Amino acid sequence: MSWQLYQYICLIWMALGLATFFYLLRVQAPFGRHVRAGWGPTINNRLGWVLMELTVLIVLYLVFFNSRQSGSLTTPMLVMLGLFTAHYVHRSLIFPQFLRTRGKRMPLIIALSAMGFNCMNGFLFGYFFGRFADYPAEWLSDFRFQSGFAIFLSGAAINVYTDYKLIGLRKPGDTGYKIPQGGLFNYLSCPNHFGEIMEWIGFAVLSWSLPGLAFAFWTFANLAPRALAHHRWYQEQFPEYPAGRKAVLPFFW
C-alpha cells in the first residue's frame, strides 16, 4: 500500500468518526447504565470488555509483523508501542477483573461493533509502525514527543484513577449507582472519559502521526457523546446532583 492510499484511508476513517459523533449525540450506545432491550442477544459484560479491548492489540501486532520492513526498531518507536500496549493490556485483561457488574450483560452487537472498530484502529497503527514510521533516536528530545508524553501520562493517570474510584463506590455485590465526589468529579460527571480523551491527544502529539490524530479524533467522537449521556442520566436519576458540574470539559461543556 502506498503512503498516499494510506492517507486517504485515514481521512475516510476520520470522516466516519465525524458522522459517528453526530449519530451518538442522538442515539446512545446501549451498554452500561444505558443498556436497554431491543438490541438482540446479549453476552456477559466482563467478557464483552475483554473481547472489545483485546482485539486492537491482536490486530496491531499481526499487521505490524506482517508489514514490517527491514531495519531495527528505534527507541521512540518502542516507547510508543509500549504505551499503546500498556493501555490496552490494562483495559482488556486487568480493568475488567475489577468491574462490579455481576449479572450485567451487553448486547452482542455492541461488542462486535467495538471489535470491528478496534480492528480498523489496530490495522492503521500496525501498518503505520510496520511500514511508514521513521523516528530517529533524537525524537525523544523533540518538544512534540516530550509534551505529548506528559499529556499522555497525565491523561492516563486521570483515566485510571477515576475509573477505579467509580468502581470503589460500589460495595461487593452492589450494582447500583451513586454520585461520585471529590477531585475532578467536583467539576465533571465523567473525568475518566476526559482523561482518556486527553491521553490519546497526547499520543497524537508525541507520535505526530496521522493514525494518532485519527485515533484521538475517534476517541473524542465516541466518548464526548457518552459523557453527555452520563451527565443527563445523573441529572435525571439524582435531583440533588450538583448543578455546577460539566459533562466533558471542566467549566465549559
Q: Look at residue 149 in the predicted model and tell me its pLDDT.
A: 98
**For the segment 14-63, what is each residue's pLDDT rounded down to a tens digit?**
999 999 999 998 877 666 565 566 677 888 888 888 999 999 999 999 99
Long-range contact set of residues 196-199: C-beta below 8 Å, sequence gap at least 24: 196/155, 196/159, 196/223, 197/155, 197/223, 197/224, 197/248, 198/151, 198/154, 198/155, 198/158, 198/159, 199/87, 199/151, 199/152, 199/155, 199/156, 199/159
Instruction: Give residue limits of the domains in the chain.
Output: 3-237
Q: Look at residue 42 in the predicted model and tell me its pLDDT.
A: 84
The structure's pTM equals 0.90
Q: Look at residue 148 in the predicted model and tell me its pLDDT.
A: 98
- Could you say which residues of the chain have pLDDT below 50? none
